[in-house]
Amino acid sequence: MNKDISEYMIEAIKLSINNVVEGKGGPFGAVVVKDGIIIARGVNRVTATNDPTAHAEVIAIREACTILNTFQLSGCEIYTSCEPCPMCLGAIYWARPDKLFYANSKQDAASINFDDQFIYDEIGKPLNQRKLFTQQILREEALIAFTKWKESSNKIEY
């Protein structure tokens, strides 16, 4: 294994361990690397911030995008101490890094009660079979924004 790769992962793992030891949140850490340099770090801050989206990967992505002044992380790599949950995986795909590396598996996470399998299962179900009541309303009113976006010459596509 490339020594640099393992060094970046070791940093993500250290962040996850320290987060637990310091009592700041769940056992998850992530780093974003660009041109061989760690430019952003994140740890799970869900309980510390009362923000269910404050996962390590999301925090690291937000920090990296701020530092790079961009909404995409092309040319970057993400190292995370655990296989990303569905939300984080979606955020990673939207951020468009070149590579993703992880240490613990989603099965490892499930073994300590961080089990996201129900989300994977729910996503594949028709809306009327999901546990979360979901109903589409006011589509025609909402389509106005989409029409304006489509017609706008003042937009940055992504």
pTM for the whole thing? 0.91
User: For 100-140, what is each residue's pLDDT tens digit?
Assistant: 999 999 999 999 999 899 998 999 999 999 999 989 999 99
| Mean pLDDT across the chain | 94
The CB density around residue 30, as the number of other CB atoms within 10 Å, is 32
Is 63 tagged catalytic? no
Q: Which of 7, 11, 22, 57 is catalytic?
A: 57
- Which residues partner with 38 through β-bridges? 33
Q: Which residue has the tokens 């706008």?
A: 152
